[in-house]
A and B are shown apart, each in its own frame.
Chain A
Amino acid sequence: GAGVSQSPRYKVAKRGQDVALRCDPISGHVSLFWYQQALGQGPEFLTYFQNEAQLDKSGLPSDRFFAERPEGSVSTLKIQRTQQEDSAVYLCASSSGTVTEAFFGQGTRLTVV
């Protein structure tokens, strides 16, 4: 595709429900990032993949958050037992190698009710 694609665009989950957010990076991009953006705040780093290897997961807020990129392309961010504080926009970005070339998707807006 022409850009980074994220799905779904919007997700409403009941508290306690598990959710899975998908990111399709730009074809050939080896680096993939997940960020969480709370309302009125800047994005906060969650995790980083280089191909299929998760090299940095220091930003994941708890063990309820899990990310994978098994074949080095599509990535999934999974949140188990969602809580209200998980409500945010989840942004995915991909790059060919350096952060300066990172392209962001439109994000998935998660609302936990």
Chain B
Amino acid sequence: SQELEQSPQSLIVQEGKNLTINCTSSKTLYGLYWYKQKYGEGLIFLMMLQKGGEEKSHEKITAKLDEKKQQSSLHITASQPSHAGIYLCGASPGEGAQKLVFGQGTRLTINP
């Protein structure tokens, strides 16, 4: 079965600093999804990547999928307190599969 490993598990950065979260898969990714979760709340969809080498940006968040489609990174530029939360990567276990397999999450804390 597919497994997703996120690193780091937790991250504390000073406001204004850049940061990167990584997601590595044990198998080829058929679709890689990034979500954000605040404590006690549901998941908020950020971005979806499908093609090797693909890169997408939304505001100050950029996500990339490597050429081999087994690793993705999420980069935040000039972090703000609103970026704090848990970031989760999720992936389809197979082409056309409806369910998602998730990583264990990365807890991001922004210090003012």
Contact = CB atoms under 8 A, between A and B. Distances in A.
Interface string A23-56: 0000000010100000011111100101000011
Interface string B19-47: 00000000000010101000011111100
B39 to A, nearest CB: 10
Interface stretch (A14-22, A60-68, A72-80, A95-103): A95-103
Contacts, number: 61
Given A48-B98, A48-B99, A100-B33, A41 B105 contact: yes
Interface residues of B, number: 23
Contact of A99 (B41, B92, B104, B105): B92
Interface residues of A, number: 25
B100 A106 contact: no
A22 to B, nearest CB: 15
21 contacts: A31-B98, A33-B99, A41-B104, A42-B88, A42-B105, A43-B90, A43-B102, A44-B102, A48-B99, A55-B98, A56-B98, A91-B43, A99-B31, A99-B99, A100-B31, A102-B45, A104-B42, A106-B40, A106-B42, A107-B40, A107-B41
Interface of B: 4, 31, 33, 35, 40-45, 48, 88, 90, 92, 97-105
